[in-house]
Every structure is written in structure tokens, then in C-alpha cells.
Amino acid sequence: ILADEREKMIDNVESTLYNQALDGNTTAMIFFLKTQAKSRGYIEGPEVVSNNDQESTPLSLPAELIAPDFLEAHRKILSGEYTEFDFDGGRGSLKSTFTSEASITLLANNPMMHMLALRQVKDTLHASVYTQLKWAIEQLGLIEKFKFTVSPLEITYKPTGQKIYFRGADDPTNIKSIKPPFGYIGILWLEEFDQFRGEEPVRSIVQSALRGGNKAYWFNTWNTPKSRNHWVNKYVAVPKPGRYHMTSNYLNVPKEWLGTIFLNEAEHLKSVNPKAYEHEYMGIANGTGGTIFDNLELRAITDKEISEFDHIHYGLDWGYALDPLHWVKLHYDAGKEIIY
């Protein structure tokens, strides 16, 4: 009877600590992890949480690791005003770099939170988000505090047992089946956000992943699609409470971070194809969508013009399978290099 009463008392204490931890009480977080993690079998061995006072000191993201364009984003994360952070833009703007660094910092500072990183296709996870997060851990000087496994693809924060899970959105059941050993998934990263199948599938992912806690951080990163009609460009154009959105480019990134080859390629494209440069490097959606050629003038061809056409041609694309059969009648003006 005494043993049963003692067990109930311990459960009540742990429940109180758990609730205080969810409310942001750092001391309660640490004590909860120290006492419960080992007794409940959440994590093994002596690496639960050391008695070093350093464990209770919040980990800060060094300013020298943050690209200038993301300093304001970093302040927004610390402010606690936002849940969703949308980062789009051009190549070399360090969207994924900042997100990986910020995610690891948040994980270390929130002992009850776990992280889930997703790509649309699971086979791309190891070479992208997994490698990027490992790089961020090295940059923050924390490599000894993390355990990396490939099967299953996971990263574990050894002082607390927090997990970083990796999943592909091509198998939604794998997302629903994630059961953290304690706490909840409080950090979510959707990399190459534009490659996901649309707003509705994304909403389903978020509903499955972010539940069980009072605070969460949801990051979306992607290169801006060329077409203004792409679903993700429409998605960020609609105001949403609790969302912080920013578009970045490479111009404010320290040159030594990008290298001479990257910068030379950007300048070359700028000189030979300004419109492609505007999209690829500046992150501007400058396409109408659905067109193969950009140099189009969309208007009615007048009867007067048609009366003067003397090089008329016909073409037929059979289509096959699901593609439509397409027939075209055109005139080519060789002197002006215009096709009507």
C-alpha cells in the first residue's frame, strides 16, 4: 500500500512539473527531465541532463552565423509573436541555412519539444534537410551532444533525448505514426515548400504534426516559383495571423560565404538574361504560368494583318494518352522574326 501511495505521489509531482514546463518554467523543465526521463525509460544511461549549470543557460544563435537579411526574422522568432515563418527568395539567400540554425537553437532551448523535417519525397531527405541540420549542429559547436542515425533517419539530442524526425509527404501515414517519447513535436520544417502538393495537403500535415503543446514553430523554405499563378505564391499573398513572411536574395550575404564561382555565374546571367536572373537570383515571380516562351504578346490578330499573311503553316500534335490533341495555324514573318 505504501509503495502504491508513493507511486501516486510521484505521478502527481511529475504531472505538476510537466504542466509548469509547458508554461515555460525552465527549472521545472530541467527537473522533470532529470527525474522522469530515466525512471520512465525515456532515455538510457547517464546522459539525461548533467548537474552542470550550463544546461540551464539558454543557447543563443551567434550573430556572426546569421545572414544580415535574417536578423529581423531571428528577432521575430525570439519575440514569440508568430508560429509560421515563410522564407522564400532566390538562390544563395541562405533560407535553409538560417532555418537549420534557428531550429537547432529552439530545440536546445525547449526541452519538451521535438522536431519534424519534411520534403515532398522521402528519398531526398538525407541529402537535404538531414545534412543541412547536421551542418548547423557543427556550426553551433554541438556535434558531441547529438547522435546521428541513418536507419531510422533521426537525430537525437543526447542531454534530453529530444528527437529530430524526418519524413516524406508522399507517405502521410508515416507522419501520423510519430509518437515522441515525451513532450510533443513543436518544431516543423517543410523544405522546398513549393514542391508540396498544395495548401490542403500541407494543412493536413500541420494538423497531424503540431498538436499537444501550447507553442510551436513552423518553418517553410523554398525558391520562389516563376509563375505568379503557382499555389505557393498565391498562398503567401493572402494575409494570415501569426505568420511572418520574408523574401530574401544573395546580395546581402557575405561574399566569402558564397564564393567567387557563385557570384560570377549570377553576374553572367544578369548580363545575358536579366529576366532569368530576376527570377532565379532575386526570387521574383515574373512569369505568367503555363507558357513555354516568355517573349509573348497576347492580343487578338487583326483581319488586316491576316490579309497580309503569305507564309501560313499548319501543325498537329497528336497528344496521345492524357495530353490533348492540338492543331495550330500560323504565319511566320521572317523579316521581323515574329510568329503569329
3-state secondary structure of 97: helix
Q: How far is CA 105 from the centre of its chain?
A: 16
Cis status, amide bond into 62, omega within 30 of 0: no
Rounded Cα–Cα distance for residues 21 and 4 (Å): 26
145 to each of 35, 152, 327, how far by Cα in Å? 20, 19, 64
The partner residues of 220 in beta bridges, in order of sequence, read 86, 190
Report the DSSP pairing between strands 162-168 and 154-157. Answer: antiparallel
Backbone angles phi, psi at 98, to 5 degrees: -65, -45
Sequence-distant (6+) residues with CB within 8 A of 306 are 331
Element at 165 (helix H, strand E): strand 162-168
The secondary structure of residue 127, as a DSSP letter, is I
Rounded Cα–Cα distance for residues 179 and 12 (Å): 23
CA-only gyration radius of the chain, Å: 26
Rounded Cα–Cα distance for residues 336 and 309 (Å): 13
Pick the closest to residue 162 from 183, 139, 136 (CA basis). 183
186 in Cβ contact with 210 (< 8 Å)? yes
Q: Which of 84, 191, 192, 278 is catalytic?
A: 192
168 in Cβ contact with 136 (< 8 Å)? no
Q: Diameter of the chain by CA atoms?
A: 104
Query: Would you call 192 a catalytic residue per the annotation?
Result: yes
> How many Cβ atoms from other residues are within 10 Å of residue 211's Cβ?
10
Give the catalytic positions in this structure: 192
